[in-house]
Chain A
């Protein structure tokens, strides 16, 4: 979710669509917004209601500095974890 917000600020439905497009599968609103609320409460994102270009008002989320910090740390952790898993699986494939 944070990674999807790094590119630009976005609203809930748009976030769900871009995560779906990235191959994470459809995410229900009932799952999405509680996560966003938690991120907002812990200061990872800020939110602001704004009129869209054409449509009605939507709640736009923007990643904060501490959200970016958490994202960098998570990315590094994931990198080393995925690296380890890949190495093991490469051995399997090589056999």
Chain B
């Protein structure tokens, strides 16, 4: 009798932990909360009826959540989106040569508030160079960039200070954007939580993993609510879950009216952005809408 009770309790704990993980994974994939509740409740009923351990019946929570997401299709977030706002970033006729090799040959890019532009193309085609030019860190040989509003930039790597802890990064960057210490740390930790990262007790940046350092970079780019966000492949070292979180963060920023430019070589999300700029060398650079 006692053994049986213990057994049931142990199973209940295992079930609850698995179901909670499933719930989190479903939400992280943008499954509408009502549907997520149903999926979790149905899995709970199945576990109760079958008396199977969750891993045997359903497999890993993240894998099962992915199967569910595939079955219901992508969330239709585009349905109620307001029309894009004013132009925030305008690059016209950008030309850049390295030595005598032309890297950018007359590139145009316009991004409005509430839009995501993806810059794609082969390695070495000038994606990062264009982003640095937009950020004002590199001068073009020809052409002009107009930024209307404040700017946040997330580099591909670097950008963190080896001997500072994450909170100190937030304070430093926040100060540059007119934020007080407490406000900067609060905002930094909130943005980090959206990426499933708790920086509160984290050590110095040099001790963080590559993926976590990129989360720190991404959080810093978004501090102080800049109008324009320039993100250079910021998901290097992210695991699959963090990668999904990253895109959801992007869509939240877009829905909040930010203008976003993201350099990427991963093409699986291009159906969810507004503009794709392909820099792969062709006779005429083109913009596809």
Chain A residues close to B by CB (< 8 Å): 11-13, 16, 28-30, 32-35, 37-38, 41, 49, 55-59
Contact = CB atoms under 8 A, between A and B. Distances in A.
A34 B42 CA distance: 11
Contacts of A49: 38, 41
Contact of A58 (B45, B47, B59, B71): B45
Nearest 4 Cβ contacts at the A-B interface: A37-B71, A13-B49, A30-B58, A29-B57
Nearest to B64: A30
A29 B57 CA distance: 5
Identify which of A37, A41, A55 gathers the most chain B CB atoms within 10 Å of its CB.
Answer: A37
B41 to A, nearest CB: 7
B283 to A, nearest CB: 44
A33 B45 contact: no
Interface of B: 38-39, 41-43, 45-50, 52, 56-59, 63-64, 67-68, 70-73
Identify which of B45, B47, B58 gathers the most chain A CB atoms within 10 Å of its CB.
Answer: B45
Contact of A34 (B49, B52, B71): B71
Nearest to B39: A33
18 contacts: A11-B45, A28-B59, A29-B50, A29-B57, A30-B58, A30-B59, A30-B63, A32-B46, A33-B46, A34-B67, A34-B68, A34-B70, A35-B71, A37-B39, A37-B72, A41-B71, A55-B49, A57-B41
Identify which of A16, A30, A55 gathers the most chain B CB atoms within 10 Å of its CB.
Answer: A30
A58 B43 CA distance: 10
A32 B57 CA distance: 10
Contacts of B45: 11-13, 56-59
Contact of A29 (B38, B58, B72): B58
A62 to B, nearest CB: 15
A18 B39 CA distance: 21
A16 B43 CA distance: 13
B239 to A, nearest CB: 21
A29 B52 CA distance: 10
Contacts of B41: 49, 57, 59
A57 B71 CA distance: 23
Nearest to A33: B42
A33 B72 CA distance: 11
Contact of A30 (B48, B57, B72, B73): B57
Given A13-B49, A56-B48, A29 B68 contact: no
